[in-house]
C-alpha cells in the first residue's frame, strides 16, 4: 500500500502553492519557515518525486507534477476537513468551534455586538476571533485556520464564497473649521485636490477610498505615493491626524456610530454622488459543509446593521 501524505503536509504544500513565498506560507500555517520547508521535503521523499524546482534560486517554482499534486491535495484536504464538519453539522447545527476573522476597520466597532449576538442566540458555538487585513485573513481561511470572515466589499476575495449583508455609507471627516464643513453633503468632486489621509497599503478601505476619489473628475491621486496623501495604520490614527489639521479622510458610518470622533475637534459629512459606500458581508470556503450554518449566522448578523442603512438582498 502506498504511503499517504498527512493533512499537515498537504496544508504546507497548498499554502506554498497559493502564496509562492515560504515565509508567508509558514505564517499562514502558524509554523516556522524551517518546519514548513522540512515538511515539504519529507513529502517529496515520501512520494519519491520532486515537487519544487530548486534550480531557480529563491523563487518558488513548482514542477508540473508539484502543481498537479497541489491541486489534488487541495481537493483531498477539503474532503478530509469536511468529514468532522459534516458530523458536527448533522449532530446539532450551530454548535462547536467557530473561528472568525475580522478586518481592522470593522473589528473595533462590530466585535462587541457580534459576540453578544452569538452568545445570546447560539450559545453552543465556541467563538474565537482573529483580526487582520483581508489578504491575510483569506490566506488563513484557505488553509483551514479560519472558518468565516467578516469583510468589507468590494475586495479581492474571489477565493471565498461571499454573502453581502448591508451597505456602510462613507462620510468625509474634517476639522471643524474646514471649508467643506459648511456643506450638508460633500459631493465626491469636492475631494479633488484635497490633502487626503488614507489607510496604509494592505487595507481594503484604502482601495475603496481611492475608488471613491476617482469618481471626482479632477482627482489627481494615484495608487502609489502621492504628495497629497498621508497614510494611517488605523481609523483611530486617521481621526487623530484629521484633528491635527493634516488633511481630511473618508470614514465609514460604522466607525462614526461607534464614537470614533469622540474627543476630537473633527466633524463628519455624508458623501454624495456615485456609489459612496462599502458593503459589509461574510465569507467562507466554497462548498463548506457548514454553509447553512453560516447563512443562518448571516441573518443574525444583519440585525446589527444601523436601522437607517440599506440591507443587501
pLDDT (tens digit per residue) in 90-142 = 667 788 889 999 999 999 999 999 999 999 999 999 999 999 999 999 988 98
C-alpha 120/C-alpha 111 separation (Å) is 14
Whether residue 95 contacts residue 88, with contact meaning beta carbons closer than 8 Å, is answered with yes
Q: Is the pLDDT confidence value at 4 over 50?
A: yes
**Phi/psi-derived region of residue 145, left when phi > 0, alpha when psi is between -120 and 50, beta in every other case:** alpha
- Helix spans in 154-229 (H): 204-215
pLDDT the model gives residue 216: 59
- Cβ burial, residue 163 (10 Å; 0-12/13-18/19+): buried
Mean pLDDT of 212-225: 58
11/28 Cα distance (integer angstroms): 10
Q: For residue 101, give Cα distances in angstroms to 5, 121, 297.
A: 28, 19, 14
Same fold, 7-87 and 93-220+227-312: no
Percent of the chain residues past pLDDT 90, beyond the cut = 65
The dihedral of CA 29, 143, 103, 113: what is its sign? negative
DSSP summary character for residue 297: H
Are the beta carbons of 101 and 251 closer than 8 angstroms? no
Domain ranges (residues) in the chain: 7-87, 93-220+227-312
- pLDDT for 158 equals 87
Query: The cell 509558514 sits on which residue?
Result: 26
Report the top-level CATH class of 7-87: mainly alpha
Q: Could you check whether the bond before residue 110 is cis, i.e. omega within 30 degrees of 0?
A: no
Of the two residues 170 and 212, the one the predictor is more confident about is 170
Residue 47 has pLDDT above 50, yes or no: yes
pLDDT tens across 57-85, in order? 888 999 999 999 998 888 888 778 777 77
Whether 163 shows a pLDDT value over 90: the answer reads yes
Count CB neighbours of 91 within 10 A. 9
pLDDT of residue 267: 97
Is the pLDDT assigned to residue 310 strictly greater than 70? Answer: no
Query: What tens digit of pLDDT does each residue of 280-292 get?
Result: 999 999 988 889 9
Check whether 222 has a pLDDT greater than 50. Answer: no
Evaluate if pTM is beyond 0.85.
Answer: no
- What would the CATH number be for the domain defined by 93-220+227-312? 3.40.190.290
User: Mean pLDDT over residues 16-26, rounded?
Assistant: 91
Q: Which residue has the cell 470622533?
A: 261
Q: Using alpha carbons only, what angle is made at residue 162 by residues 259 and 128, rounded to the nearest 5 degrees?
A: 60
Amino acid at each position: 500500500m502506498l504511503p499517504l501524505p498527512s493533512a499537515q503536509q498537504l496544508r504546507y504544500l497548498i499554502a506554498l502553492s497559493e502564496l509562492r513565498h515560504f515565509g508567508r506560507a509558514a505564517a499562514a500555517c502558524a509554523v516556522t519557515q524551517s518546519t514548513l520547508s522540512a515538511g515539504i521535503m519529507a513529502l517529496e521523499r515520501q512520494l519519491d518525486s520532486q515537487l519544487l524546482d530548486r534550480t531557480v534560486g529563491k523563487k518558488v517554482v513548482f514542477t508540473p507534477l508539484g502543481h498537479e499534486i497541489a491541486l489534488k491535495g487541495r481537493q483531498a484536504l477539503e474532503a478530509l476537513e469536511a468529514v468532522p464538519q459534516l458530523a458536527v453539522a448533522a449532530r446539532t447545527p450551530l454548535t462547536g468551534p467557530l473561528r472568525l476573522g475580522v478586518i481592522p476597520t470593522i473589528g473595533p466597532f462590530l466585535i462587541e455586538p457580534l459576540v453578544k449576538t452569538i452568545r445570546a442566540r447560539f450559545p453552543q458555538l465556541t467563538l474565537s476571533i482573529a483580526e487582520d487585513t483581508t489578504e491575510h485573513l483569506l490566506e488563513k481561511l484557505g488553509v483551514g485556520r479560519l472558518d468565516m470572515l467578516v469583510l468589507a466589499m468590494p475586495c479581492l476575495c474571489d477565493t471565498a464564497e461571499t454573502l453581502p449583508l448591508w451597505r456602510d455609507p462613507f462620510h468625509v471627516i474634517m476639522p471643524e473649521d474646514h471649508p467643506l464643513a459648511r456643506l450638508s453633503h460633500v459631493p465626491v468632486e469636492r475631494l479633488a485636490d484635497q490633502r487626503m489621509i488614507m489607510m496604509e497599503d494592505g487595507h481594503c478601505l484604502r482601495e475603496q477610498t481611492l475608488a471613491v476619489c476617482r469618481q471626482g473628475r479632477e482627482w489627481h491621486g494615484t495608487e502609489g505615493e502621492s504628495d497629497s496623501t498621508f497614510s494611517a495604520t488605523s481609523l483611530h490614527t486617521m481621526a487623530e491626524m484629521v484633528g491635527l489639521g493634516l488633511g481630511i479622510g473618508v470614514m465609514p458610518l460604522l466607525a462614526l456610530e461607534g464614537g470614533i470622533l469622540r474627543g476630537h475637534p473633527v466633524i463628519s459629512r455624508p458623501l454624495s454622488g456615485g456609489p459612496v459606500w462599502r458593503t459589509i458581508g461574510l465569507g467562507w470556503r466554497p462548498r463548506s459543509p457548514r454553509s447553512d450554518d453560516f447563512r443562518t449566522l448571516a441573518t443574525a448578523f444583519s440585525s446589527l446593521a444601523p436601522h437607517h442603512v440599506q440591507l443587501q438582498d
